[in-house]
Every structure is written in structure tokens, then in C-alpha cells.
A and B are shown apart, each in its own frame.
Chain A
Amino acid sequence: MNVHEFQAKQLFAQFGVPVPRGKEVTSPEAATTWANELNTPVFVVKAQIHAGGRGKAGGVKITKDKAAVAGLAKELIGKTLITHQTGPKGRKVHRLLLEEGANIAKELYLSILVDRDTGWPTFIASTEGGMEIEEVAEKTPEKIIKEAIDPAVGFQGHNGRNVAFALGLQNMEPAVINPFVQMLGNLYRLFMEKHAALVEINPLIITKEKTLVALDGKVSFDDNGLFKHEDVQKMRDLNEEDPLEIEATANNLNYVKLDGNIGCMVNGAGLAMATMDVIKLAGSEPANFLDVGGGATKDTVAAGFRILLKDPNVKGIFINIFGGIVRCERIAHGVIEAAKEVKIAVPLVVRLQGTNADEGRKLLAESGLKLDVANDLWEAAQKIVKLTGKAV
């Protein structure tokens, strides 16, 4: 789960990581009120959406004129921002972060995540603050500093010093070395205690006043750890999610919307991905990823149908089930019942394999429903692609 910059900064403040004074505002009036209270030489108005690249897309405004803040807020609220991370449709701005400006002397990059190779939480730092870290890693890998933290003992001072001196803080501003080490310790605590998946500060700045400030902030959380943190759950912003994906989550389905025209419904995540791949191989494009889980029942299949059919791009549906512990004839019953409940006007191909597959296929064939039954994966994929026509 992702959260907004202003929420990330609230968490930073809670864990002793310095951030600019700022607040979330959702109207020009609230912006004016907060601007009066903030009373700073420079005001920064930042659009809050779950995507990077806001600055380039015109989502960040800076002014020295307090009276201009309301106008900037009005301009941004309701605006649709298109960045390299939002896709062509862009994202509508519902809320803003209004904060004080800072005197930047130097910009750095800092993040922490679990290195999948070692299984250890690892800090990544670079002197190239403000740039995309992937780009830095690609072009100048020598500028990437990594420091793994032993989870058995947690963050130690030397971990922080290793990063500080590797960055060359002693040459930039020696006064920030100790606060920097302390900040890394605080970020490690935030990362572990809140079950974060990524904490990123880009840029982390050294100010002309010789202090450190997290000028931007990104935090994403491990969905599997959310149950432990009610405060984090409350930070979820449904405006930032696809409505179909929200509906899927409510039905305990794993759904990711894609751009193709063949809707697919599969049991198991690996097989669901493989099914998408087979559709592509057969000459078309999948409209989604949908894993109905091991125990595909009538209710989950019906919910799956409803979600798939709400996507106007879907011109055909491919159900691919490998019956394991769950027997195929029960899944066939589920499909038949669900298909009666939900009107399906597009071609439907059902591929059943595994436990009692023959009985399942027979039930489907005799159900009177308009559908094609297949037993081989490749045969089924070719069938649905033929029935829907090629993707445009």
C-alpha cells in the first residue's frame, strides 16, 4: 500500500526525522488559513498523488507571495496530472501539501528496503539527490552506496557512519554527520516497526543553515503487515486506486487491470500470470490478472465475472482452472451458477484440468450455457483469441 507525501512526512516527524513545517489542505480557503499560520518567506504547494514526477508535470508551485497561495491551490485542486508514472490518463489531484520552502545547499538520496538477495534491510544512498535512483544506478553505479543492517541486532552507529563517510559528508558539511547517523537509526526503526516495504527520501537536503531536512518523502507498506497497524490502514486513499481493483479486494480476489481485451480468471497467481502470457503468445492481449485463489467457489467466480465485465475493453473471457484439492466438477457448478446470475454477452472459454476434469467438462457442455470447453491450455488460448479477434 502506498501513502501520500504528507502522510510519509507525518510518519517521519513521528520518528524524529526532520521535515519542513507543512500540512495537508484540500481547499483554497484552508490553504490561506494555513499560509497565514505558516508565515514563511517561501511557500511550497505540492499536489498529492501516488506517483512520482509531479514537479515536471506542473504539480509543484513555489511562491514568496502569501496572497498568491490560494490561487495556486485553486489551480492545482481538481487538475489532472500526467507524469511518467501515472500512465496517459493521469491522476486527478484531490489534496495538497502546503509547506515552508528551504534553503538548499546540497541534495542527497536516501532509501531503505529489504534486499531480496540477502534478506537484510538495506540502506541505499547517493550524492545524486533529486534524480531517479534507477537512472543513477544505470549510468553511474559507482555513486550508489549500500549498507545492509543485520536484523539480529538492528541498526548500529557504524552503519550510519559508513554511509555518512561514503557520501563524503565530512567534505560537504561536517556538522550534519551526527544528525545523519541518528536519522538513519530513526528511519530503520520506522521501516521495521511499521512494516514498511520502502522508505525513500529524495531529495534529502543539507540546508544553508547546516541542518538536514527530508524535502520529499515516499513510504510504501507491506500489505501483509497492515493488520498490525490501524494508523497506517487509515492512510489508504481510495481515490488513488482503480475502482475495479477496490471491488476485487473487497471480494478477496487478486485483480490487476491491464490494457488488453481478453479477461481471464485463474486459480493461483503463477498460473494466472502464465495464462496472460499464453494469451499474448496466441496473438492477443490480456485485459487483467485475476487469481480467484485455491477454493474457487460459485461466489468467487460470480464476483470475478462481475469485475471482468465492468471493464469495457473485455471482449471475451478465458477461465483457466487447474483443479487440485478443489475438484473440477465443483468449479464447473460454480461457473454454471455464476454465469446464470451474471449475464455474459461475450465469448467464454473454460479450460478445466486436474481432479475430476472430465466430469467438470461434461457438466459445462450439458449446461446449455453458451461457452466453449477445452482441456489443453494452448488449445483454449487459441480458441478464445480466435473468438474475440485480435487485439487492436
Chain B
Amino acid sequence: MSILVNKNTRVVVQGITGKEGSFHATQCKAYGTKMVAGVTPGKAGQEVEGIPVFNTVADAVKKTECDTSLIFVPPPFCADAILEAADAGVKLIICITEGIPVNDMVKVKRALHGRDVRLVGPNCPGVITVDEAKIGIMPGFIHKRGVVGVVSRSGTLTYEAVHQLSTLGLGETTCVGIGGDPVNGTGFVDVLPLFEKDPETQAVVMIGEIGGDAEEKAAEYIKKNVKKPVISFIAGITAPPGRRMGHAGAIISGGKGTASEKMKALEAAGVRVVKNPAEIGHAVKAALGR
């Protein structure tokens, strides 16, 4: 078992003829993911690495029964692309694009509310279920099938954690990048119940960072609902207030959203918080009694 995506997931890539889109569609296909369609308006009939291109997501859904979209569309057109996927009946939308205006995302989030569709991202590395489906830009080979679920606001920091888990022989089930934007689709509290229910996942690694209160909300949820061990690292203990640290959402504003506040909330909820990112893997190992 796993969460969100598996070997039966059928993926359409929006923005497949662009540089990023074609490169990563090829990589995902090579990993073994069912890449069944691509969309670039006006380029129907073309192929990218044997993946047929359609003008609209609606056409792609009709012809290929794709159920998941992977989006590389540039920021000015990305809100439109997400809504197009939702309107076409795609159930899972994974948006990699970085730099979408926040107020565009405000409207998108509202429009998706209450509908039978899940958005992961934007500004995220995507989702991978090890050895089944890689739907995103993460390097596939660092992953090893195992017992740990990973959910994170960051990209390369997640690879760092995954690398440690794989090297220590623990391995991962599914890794979900929820992205570094202030307004996004899926949050920690949406992913945690999925890992809690997944029989294969024995422990969860949660990687947060400064800004907002998603980690505090997660702590509240974990305290009440999660029995599996959760191990967490929060980036940005040295980040100054009022400065945006790369990610649009990584900012301490009005004294709120500091790393120490988040760590405190998580520790109070029984989460094992590691201060040194180099020790994430070892902390999981200890938590699992291995």
C-alpha cells in the first residue's frame, strides 16, 4: 500500500512541450510512471517521448482516462491550468510551478473548495510512491521502498532526509512535497491521516519550516489522531524575522511563525523533533526500535 499515487495512477502533464515539462515527463516515464497524456494548447497531435499531446485537459481525460495532472505551466497561466484540470474531472492535481501570485492562489483554493479534487503544491517537488509512481521532479534513485512516509514543505531538504532513510535501510512508502507557498492545496493535516491509515507506513517524517502555522495545526492533529511515531525537523531556527527565506511562505511576520514556536508545539504533541537535519534518519531508526 501507499498513499495518493500508485502504479495504476494515470498522469497527464500540463505544459509538456516546455523545457521543464518535457524533461521531467521523460524522467517520470523512465521511472515507470504511467504517463498517458500531455497538454499544450495548439499542439495536439504531437508526441513527447511517445506521450500523446492534446489541446485541452478535457480532451486528454476523454481519450486517455488520466486521473492525475502534473503541472509545469509558467506562473502567469498556472491558476488557469489548475482550474482547467479540476474542470476536466482530474482528481489529483500536482503543481510544480514556482512563483504563482498569492492572490491568484487565493481564488484557486476557493474555487476548488468542496469539490472532489485534491491539489498538491504549488511550488513543490511532487509526489512519489517508491517503485510505483514518480510524479514530480525529485531524483527517483535516492528512494528505496520501505516503511517511512515523508511529508515536507521543502524540496532538496526532503531529498536529504530521504537519502538518510534509504542509506539506513529504512526506506520510504510515499513522499509528498506540499510546497513552500503561503497559500497551497494539501497541507500537513491532510497528509497525516493518510499515512496513519496506510498499513505499510510505520513512521512519518514531517519537514517544516518558518512561516505560517501549518506545523502548529499539524501538532494539534497529531496529538489527537496519530498513533504512529512522527519525527520532525523545522528549518530556519537561525532565520531573521521579517525576511523571506527563498520560499514565498518562509517568513516570520509579526513575531509569528518562528521555528522554536513550531518545535515547541510539536514536542508537546509527542513528536520527536530533531534539531540537526543530519540526524533525521537516525531519529526514525530509534523511534522504530531498530
Binding site for B on A (CB under 8 A): 85, 114, 116-117, 119-121, 133-134, 137, 150-152, 191-192, 195, 197, 222-225, 227-228, 254, 256, 258, 266-274, 276-281, 285-286, 289, 291, 294, 322-325, 353-355, 376-378, 381
**By the criterion CB–CB under 8 Å, are B157 and A291 in contact?**
no
Please name all residues of chain B whose beta carbon is closer than 8 Å to the beta carbon of A191 when the two chains form the complex: 103
B42 to chain A, nearest CB (A): 23
Q: Can you list 27 A-B contacts (CB < 8 A)?
A: A114-B102, A114-B183, A116-B211, A134-B255, A150-B110, A151-B107, A152-B107, A152-B111, A195-B102, A197-B102, A223-B244, A224-B100, A225-B103, A266-B156, A270-B207, A271-B156, A272-B246, A274-B160, A276-B236, A281-B275, A291-B246, A322-B156, A324-B137, A324-B139, A354-B139, A354-B163, A355-B141
B18 within 8 A of A: no
**By the criterion CB–CB under 8 Å, are A278 and B276 in contact?**
yes
B10 within 8 A of A: no
**By the criterion CB–CB under 8 Å, are B102 and A273 in contact?**
no
**Which of the candidate stretches B46-54, B57-65, B147-155 sits at the interface with the other chain?**
B147-155
A269-B247 contact, Cβ under 8 Å, with A114-B182, A114-B183, A377-B277 = yes
Residue of A nearest to B214 (CB): A116
B32 within 8 A of A: no
19 extra interface residue pairs, beta carbon distance < 8 Å, beyond A116-B214, A227-B75: A116-B212, A116-B249, A117-B212, A191-B103, A195-B103, A222-B101, A222-B103, A256-B240, A271-B155, A271-B157, A271-B235, A274-B160, A274-B235, A274-B277, A289-B245, A291-B246, A324-B137, A325-B137, A353-B163
- For chain B, the bracket of interface size reads 35 or more
Of the candidates A195, A277, A286, A289, the one whose C-beta lies within 8 Å of that of B246 is A289
Residue in A119, A192, A289 with the greatest tally of chain B CB atoms within 10 Å: A119
Write the B198-242 contact mask toward A (1 if CB under 8 angstroms, else 0): 000000000101111110010000000000000001011111101
**By the criterion CB–CB under 8 Å, are A116 and B160 in contact?**
no
B40 within 8 A of A: no
**By the criterion CB–CB under 8 Å, are B249 and A273 in contact?**
no
**By the criterion CB–CB under 8 Å, are B102 and A222 in contact?**
yes
Residue of B nearest to A285 (CB): B238
Please name all residues of chain B whose beta carbon is closer than 8 Å to the beta carbon of A116 when the two chains form the complex: 182-183, 211-214, 249
Please name all residues of chain B whose beta carbon is closer than 8 Å to the beta carbon of A121 when the two chains form the complex: 103, 106
B105 within 8 A of A: yes
Of the candidates B24, B110, B153, B180, the one whose C-beta lies within 8 Å of that of A119 is B110
Assembly CA distance A270 to B207 (angstroms): 9
B45 within 8 A of A: no
List the 7 closest A-B pairs by CB distance, nearest first: A270-B154, A269-B246, A268-B156, A270-B157, A225-B101, A378-B278, A273-B235
Assembly CA distance A9 to B54 (angstroms): 48
**By the criterion CB–CB under 8 Å, are B243 and A322 in contact?**
no
Assembly CA distance A294 to B98 (angstroms): 12
B193 within 8 A of A: no
Assembly CA distance A258 to B142 (angstroms): 33
Assembly CA distance A255 to B275 (angstroms): 23
B135 within 8 A of A: no
Please name all residues of chain B whose beta carbon is closer than 8 Å to the beta carbon of A266 when the two chains form the complex: 156
Please name all residues of chain B whose beta carbon is closer than 8 Å to the beta carbon of A114 when the two chains form the complex: 102-103, 106, 182-183
Assembly CA distance A381 to B243 (angstroms): 24
Residue of B nearest to A85 (CB): B242
**By the criterion CB–CB under 8 Å, are A277 and B238 in contact?**
yes
**By the criterion CB–CB under 8 Å, are A289 and B278 in contact?**
no
Assembly CA distance A354 to B139 (angstroms): 9
B138 within 8 A of A: yes
A272-B254 contact, Cβ under 8 Å, with A197-B102, A325-B137 = no
**By the criterion CB–CB under 8 Å, are A224 and B101 in contact?**
yes
Residue of B nearest to A152 (CB): B110
**By the criterion CB–CB under 8 Å, are B247 and A277 in contact?**
no
B76 within 8 A of A: yes
Please name all residues of chain B whose beta carbon is closer than 8 Å to the beta carbon of A228 when the two chains form the complex: 76, 101
Of the candidates A225, A268, A324, A377, the one whose C-beta lies within 8 Å of that of B278 is A377
A297 to chain B, nearest CB (A): 15
B284 within 8 A of A: no
Please name all residues of chain A whose beta carbon is closer than 8 Å to the beta carbon of B31 when the two chains form the complex: none
**By the criterion CB–CB under 8 Å, are B103 and A277 in contact?**
no
Write the B4-16 contact mask toward A (1 if CB under 8 angstroms, else 0): 0000000000000
Assembly CA distance A60 to B100 (angstroms): 38
Of the candidates B23, B102, B214, the one whose C-beta lies within 8 Å of that of A225 is B102
B27 within 8 A of A: yes
Please name all residues of chain A whose beta carbon is closer than 8 Å to the beta carbon of B110 when the two chains form the complex: 119-120, 150-152
B41 within 8 A of A: no
